[in-house]
Structure 1
Amino acid sequence: MKNILLFSLVFILTIVTNLASSQEMCNSFNTCLELAQTNYESGQINTAKSVLENTLTQELSTVERTIILINLGLIEQEMGNFSQAERLIKQAKQLINSLEDSEHKSQLLAQSLDVQGQIEISSDNVEQALTTWKEAAKIYQNINNLTGLVNNQIYQIQALKSLGLYAQAYQNLNSLVQELSNYPDSPEKAKALHSLGDILRRIGLYEQSEAKLQESLAMAQKLSLPELESLNLLSLGKINTILENYPQALAYYQQVLELSPLLELQLQAQLNKLNLVIRQQEWEKTPNLIEDIERKITQLPKQPVSVDLRINFAEQLMQMKPELKDTNLIIAQLTTGIEIARAIAYIRGEAEATGKLGSLYEQYQQLTPAQTLTEKALLLSQSINALDLTYRWQWQLGRILAQQGKRDQSIIAYTQAVNTLKTLRQDLVAVSSEIEFSFREEVEPVYRELVDILLQPEASQQQIKQAREVIEALQLAELDNFFRDACLDTQSVQIDQLDTTAGVIYPIILAERLAVILAIPNQPLSYHDVDVSQTEIEKELNWLSAVLQNPKRQPRSQLLSQPYDWLIKPIEDKLTANGITTLVFVLDGDFRNIPPGVFFDGEQYLIEKYNIAIAPSLQLVNVQTSTLKNSPLLLAGLTEARQGFSELPGVQREINTIRDSTTADVLLNADFTKSQFEQLIQESPYDIVHLATHGKFSSRLEDTFILTWDDRIGIQDLTTLLDSDQKQLAPVELLVLSACQTALGDQRATLGLAGIAVRVGARSTIASLWEVGDESTSVLMQDFYNQLINQGNSKGKSLRNAQINLLQQQQYQHPYYWSAFILLGNWM
């Protein structure tokens, strides 16, 4: 979108005109500036530039000359002529310094800083841009210029988004929108709403995003802002594409084509249409669309947007099925993009186009030119500290070297890519829901492919250790991606530090095999391979999950034994020899949907042999321990049907039996409101919080919640509630969720469960992978608390004993009843 600085300069102009009208110097200046603005807004940037340059030859006041220089700097920045833009802004500042102190001088200085920030962010110097804009904001505040301050805040949010600080950007924008609600509709207000909607889209809050975008769209239509209308329509189209509502997305893109006077927005809409056509494999529609895009893209001026759109076009063409893929056209778009980028010193564009060209050569197994291009793209990306590109080319180089049989060099390149991703941690959150960026396609494979190369038969102890660290880093990255916020505190932890009788098992699902790493205290790491593909693993585990959740289907011994044979059988001698009594699983992929206690050796379940715990990542386990004997307990639950959820009659018995054997406060049914829960948490410290209510775990943050009488508590709310207890010096020791379930059909739903476990601050969490019968849950929970609070056993041992006692009762022998409950986090 064009910068909105010219709109605010018109506001200055009205003041300047009043000052200078007596000297009769401003008629020509006004006319020229209005003409430049008209051309600028219609996309005729070169014409606008010429008008302003001609105006400079006229006799102008210092203020007028300053305004022209600032606007010329803005235009040069948009054209990619950053050195020239910097020179013009420097000249403008020199003129500003010569002016007497006044509000007009301050306003001109603030606007020159706004353009300077645009130059800096376009040059990939994002942090400096943010600093510059903050300096301008102070000036706007001092002179009480709301319009300038609003524009400036939007610029700052642009920088925060570029830095991946979406939570902060959202906070700032939300405050800005609330403040603007007190003012009449304006272009700035409409733009702020659009930016807020765009951020909400990026963090996956699609319903809220759509509401803000529709509000901005209506305001843009009312104020006759066709460019902003088009930007809202493009964003709405993206939301509907993500939600796979393709007809509606197509309708939005078509509206942009009919509405926008700007060629670059028309091309963006057409490229998005092409993306939809390819997604739906409507190949017959592609020729005319490609031909039209190819024709229009040549009409773009030599600006950064021209390079970006050519790269986008090439990416779409690379997704075509092989017989329709026009390799020559792809090469032409990328090479032209490289030439334009070099001509205007647009280093980021040159780096991206060069890397994409290397990717094309890699696809066709022309590895020597692919390597040359990739290495060049990598150097360019590193020269401007563009980490989001750097990791891609490091990853690409790693793949190319691996295909050439250069294992050691490939490991170096992959390791650099993973290290860059760790540095880039903030930038990666909140963007995976975007059409153009998928965590599972663009981030996760980097980690898995490195592990695959490391864990070869000749792997050294150091390489096994690195593989474990990489898979831990992937677990952390997945949770960051789930929260859309890199906020999880981690610490490097060795199993020896936690429990000398515990072994940690890492099952790692690779494309063609299963790798299993075992960590035992005071022993070197070991690993073994299982010759089974990812497809076979997922098929077997999905079938087992379905059987476990249906008490009417008796699971076959072979089905329960398969995971045991993969993970435990090859290492059981080591476990016995080292006196291991607790197994901690850092589970991967579909293994997260299966409770490990149900693994069967032909005679016994694994829970009958070991205490069992699950850690989303060992780095996230709180290593402190404390006894829970005679600990204060908060019980909250629902027995009645609420908000479309069924009644839970067994909860009454569950709460009664726990209350009778412990010291507990109770919130039941109408007493269990969100506000009363919060109040009780604030008034009294609790070591244990037990919630016997409906809840759902999902791979989507916004679909993960716990039900109260009057509301739903999301992870963020639960975190706030449990953290709000100022009397409690230590975190909640144990959070129990006894009636929740994972979302049906969501293979990654356990991310929601892991998310609750690590985010709310409880050292340990017990929850069910599926909704279990009320009566069996009541029996299990009564036994668990007796073991934990009255007998003083550890959390792991208490849950294990309760599950064993339940499975030994004939009516509850099916794993459906006893195996659903898992312990996450600290097991001691």
Structure 2
Amino acid sequence: MKISSCEARVKFMVSPKRWLSILSVNSLMLFNVSLPVLMLPNIVNGGEVIAQTDPNAEAEKLLRQGYELLKQGTAESKKQAIEISEKALQLYREAGNKTWEALTLLGIGRVYSDLGEKQKALDYFNQSLTLWREVRDQTGEARTLTDIGRVYNDLGEKQTALNYYNQSLPLLQQVRDQTREAATLHNIGRVYHDLGEKQTALNYYNQSLPLSRQVGNKFGVATTLYNIGRVYNDLGEKQKALDYFNQSLPLWQEVRYQTGEARTLTDIGGIYDDLGEKQTALNYYNQSLPLSRQVGNKFGVATTLYNIGAVYNDLGEKQKALDYFNQSLPLSRQVGDQTGEARTLTDIGRVYNDLGEKKTALNYYNQSLPLWREVRDQTREAATLHNIGRVYNDLGEKQTALNYYNQSLPLSRQVGNKSGVAITLYNIGAVYNDLGEKQKALDYYNQSLPLSRQVGDQTREAGVLNNIGGIYDNLGEKQKALDYCNQSLTLSRQVGDKSGVATSLNNIGGIYDNLGEKQKALNYYNQSLPLWQEVGDKSAEAATLNNIGLVYDNLGEKQTALNYLNQSLTLSRQVGNKSGVGTSLNNIGGIYDNLGEKQKALNYYNQSLPLLQQVGDKSAEAATLNNIGRVYNDLGEKQKALDYYNQSLTLSQQLGNKAGEATTLYNFALLKRSQGNLTAALTDMELSINIIEQLRSKIIATDLRTSYFATVQNYYQFYINLLMQLHKQNPNEGYDSKALSASERSHARSLLDILAESGADIKTGVDPKLLTQEKQLLQKLNTLDQARQLNTPGYNPDELKQQIETLTNQLQQLEVKIKQNSPRYANLKYPEPLTASEIQQQVIDQDTILLQYSLGEDRSYLWLVTPTEISSYELLPRTEIEELAKQFREEITSLSPVPETGNKLSEILLSPVANKLENKRLLIVGDGILQTIPFAALPLPQNLNQTNYQPLIVNHEIVTLPSASSISILREQVKGRTPAPKKVAVFADPVFADNDPRFQTTSQTKKETETKDLIAMALTRSLEDFLGLSFSRLEGTRQEAEAILALVPDNLEQLSLDFDANRESAINPDLSQYQIVHLATHGLLNETQPELSGLVLSLYDKTGKGKPGFLQLNDIFNLEMPAELVVLSACETGVGEEIRGEGLVSLTRGFMYAGAKRVVVSLWSVADNSTAELMENYYQKILETGKNPVESMRETQLEMLNSSNWKAPYYWAAFVVQGEWK
């Protein structure tokens, strides 16, 4: 139960919970809201002015009647005022009075704007504007331009609004109308505020403020102070915001503008609301509410009721919230405030969404949507479309969600709402991520990222970075995942987002955890833990404690693990997190199970089971049923075990959980074998193995791969053992041949799993288009399959099942295409190992014998295969063979001339077949540690009683293979290939240290000694920590290289020494021109983490600058190296506690995939001078006498064996040949 990389969807709610932050603009544009016509006070208060300017008494009378109707403030009275004003307008036109015609048009336009009929308003304003220009009245022109700007602002067309305001501003400056200049500067600031450009908004507000003060316009001062407060509020500077609001408040009281006072009280309440001081917020809202009621401001009443509802919503009192919203809604409708109505409907939808009533939420969102369209508020139309998309996403209707998001996106772009665009891109990315389309998700996240930065939303930026990191983690690109998570961590720290910091720390810990870096993982988890405690997120705290417990479990510190898991359990119980409780109980049970305390384990499993059933986590339920069955099996209660296994199997099959199904079938087989029912056990085991081989490694969640792949090898070992037991009972039924085939399948699967662990992105040997299709299908399948297993909310189960079936069919069809068009890649990715009879026909010849080994917990096996015979032999258990093999290696590497343990090991491994070996070539397919010992140095089994040491190489040419099938694949790969035109390319004596004397001076600038490459660092630790090795200079390889190339004409060789022995040269396609590639450099055949096997080349350039120098497994598989021979002359095999021999296999198989016909590799690092002599003699035989590389190696090793200086096996036995012997 890990906190996954953050996939939170940001709810795109453009409307803030307090309307005033947006709606107050209506009172601010010209600082005289109530007057429909700018010069009307002169008309109604001074009849003499009318007499001088307009002799039409009838028009004057009509305007007075219209003004009285407007004062009533209802929608109907406003419409009546328009009708009367139209009559006055006609009179002015007949009289030819253009000034008053323009003024009346302006007044009618304002009333239409107030009624929300914006297009009609624009029509009247434009007619007015034309007349002002005709009469050259700059004051009227400026005011009309301002009103046109207001309408476009109301319509959400912010850039157009700015255009009109900017035309008005210089005119007002020319006529020295500082009052309206201040208002227009204010309005420009307001637009920039809406566009999210807060600093620009502040600049304009601060230009407006002193002008209003100069002209003594306290209303204007109050308004501007108020809106400056709003900007600081939006910037998160709450105290500054409060300061400006509190300056504004007494001015509203002074000018007796209770509407402004009420709004300011509301916004002060809003700040306290944001600060979490909900009761203080309610206090201010409740002061605001009666003020709005006193002045009959239904609009203000509706606003405040809405905000009170929002507080109750935040307090979790959803019903109270709905009560206040439902009081607010009819008031908005009464005053014809479609914007307020739409906003309240939207937020009622939000409450129902939070209550889980998704359909009801949709109903309210769909009521609000046409209202936003009617008032032409594209910003909020986009927001509502987005919210509808979010509901469909939660309902699992991903395509419908995408449809609404894609309607929302262009609207946000049209109105220049960068914040809205960023959020929508982000959430589209989240949907594609849910659908498994990782590349599309990355594309959208990467579009969202710069926009989040532009609008200064560092919290969202951190979230996007974290999600990008999550995708790369899921794709196995751990270095990129770390880079993005660390960027997210830095940003979250900058903005003080403790929850974000904790999430990033936890995710980084998870990456290191999956990489096996347990101490680093603990470090990050432990940094995360106190932050969760500070923010009070007990669920996340519990999850982190659980993660720490699991790390200690993996480290073998069971009691410490139990301590953390019990803390996690307590917290999950406190917060009522049944899923967390069930998980912790199950994990605690697992530890007691491993400690052998079966009754305790059973107790915890049985507590876990009903909780997992209650929360509907069927995948975890199936696993727990399986665990209970296993405990009953261990306790000897077989029938109970069968009952629980059957329940687990049924659930796994219903879920399509193939891995779980395979595990339970394996447990069935174990139980039935223990009852002596081998045939029934075999049936279950074959079903289990078939499922495993159908599974592709990429369909396993990243954090499960390591443990899952280790388990898979146990399945194969049990399968082989079962078949051999059946062979013992029925020696003529061919079970031993089936067991040999199973061994081949095990080797093929092992390599596939190593490649998955290494994250190898193999691009060679496959059509790029097919590879892209495969990746995309696997990503989708992986995501949807996990969603099904985990019962993830937001997915429709029926749709999910159908989608998985469709994708599975598409993948199967694609596999067929890949096998037809890219056989090289198909043999690796979709292996079909040879059967026993095919090995006899396709691999073995009359002069060759195959010896294939399989090491098992209870017993091991050996198969001898010739073209006419398959014989099998039971050997000692793995642990006994491993102990002898380790001693044998230690004796050899300590320069023992006659390794004494060799006799015992030879007796076990070779004596059973001694009388059949004759003098034939031996093909050795080892298993585990047997892949790391030199069979050539084992004493001849016929001479074990003699004192004279005679190693196996005396009578036999020896070739080792990753598997018997690998030679068939290799032959198919090189069939018809002509040898490369040039002879030998040699890499030797790379530069590893920053104090290497080959740097020209010691006064160079500080060298870059650290690499940012995660796998490179892991390789470094593999060599330096795990093996106790450092990157010492390999000076002797220079002589080795020069001796080899002395045998080759200058124009047919390539020598890469010193700084030139680098990674760039090694991956250069020109290397494909050489028949032999010799790499004399440090290497690691890592047997504990085979995916970290690799070669080390120069780590610096000539200037001392650090550079990537590791040739990793991924690089090797992507080389184009059609060589006859690749030689790795300075490798070191790391022998850990558990040896599987896979480091050697992965490295040599990589070079074979790249095209090498044979690979010579050293099993330990040998002294420079002896290696140089061996290599010089070896190459002399190949290049001057034309002998086969396998034959040449045997002759060279025999010469050293018979010499006085190099007789000890240490000097000659390290070098083994893998691959083609013909």
TM-score band by shorter chain is 0.7 to 0.9
Q: TM-score, normalised by structure 2?
A: 0.56
1:650-665 matches, within 5 Å, as 650-662=1036-1048, 663-665=1052-1054
Q: Is the 8 A contact 1:334 1:353 kept in 2?
A: yes
User: Max radius of gyration: which structure?
Assistant: 2
SS at match of 2:1166: coil
Query: Which position in structure 2 is the counterpart of 1:547?
Result: 891
1:149 counterpart (425, 437, 442): 425
1:237-316 matches, within 5 Å, as 237-238=509-510, 242-245=516-519, 248=523, 251-252=526-527, 254-256=529-531, 258-275=533-550, 293-301=568-576, 307-316=582-591
Query: Which position in structure 2 is the counterpart of 1:475?
Result: 747
Greater shift in the superposed pair: 454-463 or 536-545 = 454-463
Query: Which position in structure 2 is the counterpart of 1:687?
Result: 1075
Pairs aligned (count)? 780
2:722 counterpart (428, 443, 453): 453
Query: Which position in structure 1 is the counterpart of 2:961?
Result: 615
Query: Which position in structure 2 is the counterpart of 1:529?
Result: 874
Is structure 2 residue 15 aligned with structure 1 residue 9? no
CA distance in 2, matches of 1:592, 1:814: 21
CA distance in 2, matches of 1:655, 1:375: 64
CA distance in 2, matches of 1:227, 1:178: 20
Query: Which position in structure 2 is the counterpart of 1:714?
Result: 1111
Is structure 2 residue 512 aligned with structure 1 residue 512? no
CA distance in 2, matches of 1:810, 1:172: 66
Q: Deviations over 1:787-818 (max 9, x none)?
A: 33444443322322332233222211211111
Deviation at 1:537, TM superposition (A): 1.2
SS at match of 2:849: strand
Is structure 2 residue 908 aligned with structure 1 residue 566? yes
SS at match of 1:7: coil
Is structure 2 residue 705 aligned with structure 1 residue 705? no
Q: Which amino acid aligns with 1:333?
A: S
SS at match of 2:1119: helix
Is structure 2 residue 1033 aligned with structure 1 residue 647? yes
| Structure 1 unmatched runs, 5+ | 77-83, 121-127, 724-729
CA distance in 1, matches of 2:558, 2:1066: 56
The verdict on how the C-alpha distance between 1:53 and 1:540 changes in structure 2, with shifts beyond 3 A counting, is farther
Q: Is the 8 A contact 1:582 1:612 kept in 2?
A: yes
CA distance in 2, matches of 1:461, 1:432: 42
1:670 counterpart (1043, 1054, 1059): 1059
2:833 counterpart (469, 474, 492): 492
2:1214 counterpart (803, 806, 820): 820
Q: Is the 8 A contact 2:493 2:501 kept in 1?
A: yes
CA distance in 1, matches of 2:724, 2:564: 46
Q: Deviations over 1:442-482 (max 9, x none)?
A: 33222212222121113565533443333333333333343
CA distance in 2, matches of 1:784, 1:133: 67
Query: Which position in structure 1 is the counterpart of 2:492?
Result: 220
1:354 counterpart (617, 622, 625): 625
Query: Which position in structure 2 is the counterpart of 1:125?
Result: none
The verdict on how the C-alpha distance between 1:71 and 1:251 changes in structure 2, with shifts beyond 3 A counting, is same
Q: Is the 8 A contact 1:414 1:450 kept in 2?
A: yes
CA distance in 1, matches of 2:893, 2:1093: 21
Q: Is the 8 A contact 1:630 1:789 kept in 2?
A: no
The verdict on how the C-alpha distance between 1:785 and 1:554 changes in structure 2, with shifts beyond 3 A counting, is closer
The verdict on how the C-alpha distance between 1:106 and 1:262 changes in structure 2, with shifts beyond 3 A counting, is same
SS at match of 2:1116: helix
Query: Which position in structure 2 is the counterpart of 1:80?
Result: none
SS at match of 1:570: helix
Q: Which amino acid aligns with 1:526?
A: S
Deviation at 1:118, TM superposition (A): 5.9
1:331 counterpart (600, 603, 606): 606
SS at match of 1:270: helix
Q: Which amino acid aligns with 1:452?
A: N
Deviation at 1:211, TM superposition (A): 6.1
Q: Is the 8 A contact 1:334 1:357 kept in 2?
A: no
Deviation at 1:524, TM superposition (A): 5.4
Deviation at 1:366, TM superposition (A): 2.0
Query: Which position in structure 1 is the counterpart of 2:1165?
Result: 771
CA distance in 1, matches of 2:1125, 2:363: 64
Q: Which amino acid aligns with 2:1177?
A: D
Q: Deviations over 1:304-343 (max 9, x none)?
A: 55654553454345455629936434312223322x04xx
Deviation at 1:508, TM superposition (A): 0.9
CA distance in 1, matches of 2:445, 2:1166: 41
Deviation at 1:250, TM superposition (A): 7.0
Q: Is the 8 A contact 2:311 2:321 kept in 1?
A: no
Q: Deviations over 1:418-461 (max 9, x none)?
A: 22222323247674688xx6257533222212222121113565
1:90-105 matches, within 5 Å, as none
The verdict on how the C-alpha distance between 1:28 and 1:57 changes in structure 2, with shifts beyond 3 A counting, is closer
Query: Which position in structure 2 is the counterpart of 1:123?
Result: none
CA distance in 2, matches of 1:504, 1:739: 28
CA distance in 2, matches of 1:693, 1:786: 21
Deviation at 1:66, TM superposition (A): 7.3
Q: Is the 8 A contact 2:985 2:1053 kept in 1?
A: yes
Q: Is the 8 A contact 1:201 1:239 kept in 2?
A: yes
Q: Deviations over 1:363-397 (max 9, x none)?
A: 33322122112112211111121223222222222
Q: Is the 8 A contact 2:13 2:383 kept in 1?
A: no
Deviation at 1:676, TM superposition (A): 4.4
Q: Is the 8 A contact 2:529 2:541 kept in 1?
A: no
Query: Which position in structure 2 is the counterpart of 1:762?
Result: 1155
Greater shift in the superposed pair: 211-220 or 168-177 = 168-177
CA distance in 1, matches of 2:743, 2:319: 53
Q: Which amino acid aligns with 2:718?
A: E
CA distance in 1, matches of 2:365, 2:733: 60
Is structure 2 residue 707 aligned with structure 1 residue 438? yes
The verdict on how the C-alpha distance between 1:68 and 1:396 changes in structure 2, with shifts beyond 3 A counting, is farther
CA distance in 1, matches of 2:518, 2:1084: 23
User: Considering only aligned residues, what root-mean-square deviation do their CA atoms show, in Å?
Assistant: 4.6
Q: Which amino acid aligns with 1:149?
A: L
| Structure 2 unmatched runs, 5+ | 27-113, 117-298, 330-339, 414-420, 763-827, 944-948, 995-1029, 1101-1107
CA distance in 1, matches of 2:631, 2:927: 31
The verdict on how the C-alpha distance between 1:173 and 1:212 changes in structure 2, with shifts beyond 3 A counting, is farther
Q: Which amino acid aligns with 1:547?
A: E
The verdict on how the C-alpha distance between 1:785 and 1:63 changes in structure 2, with shifts beyond 3 A counting, is farther
Q: Is the 8 A contact 1:639 1:652 kept in 2?
A: no
Query: Which position in structure 2 is the counterpart of 1:81?
Result: none
SS at match of 1:801: helix
The verdict on how the C-alpha distance between 1:18 and 1:658 changes in structure 2, with shifts beyond 3 A counting, is same
Query: Which position in structure 2 is the counterpart of 1:124?
Result: none
- Quick one: percent identity of the two aligned structures? 18
Q: Which amino acid aligns with 1:690?
A: H
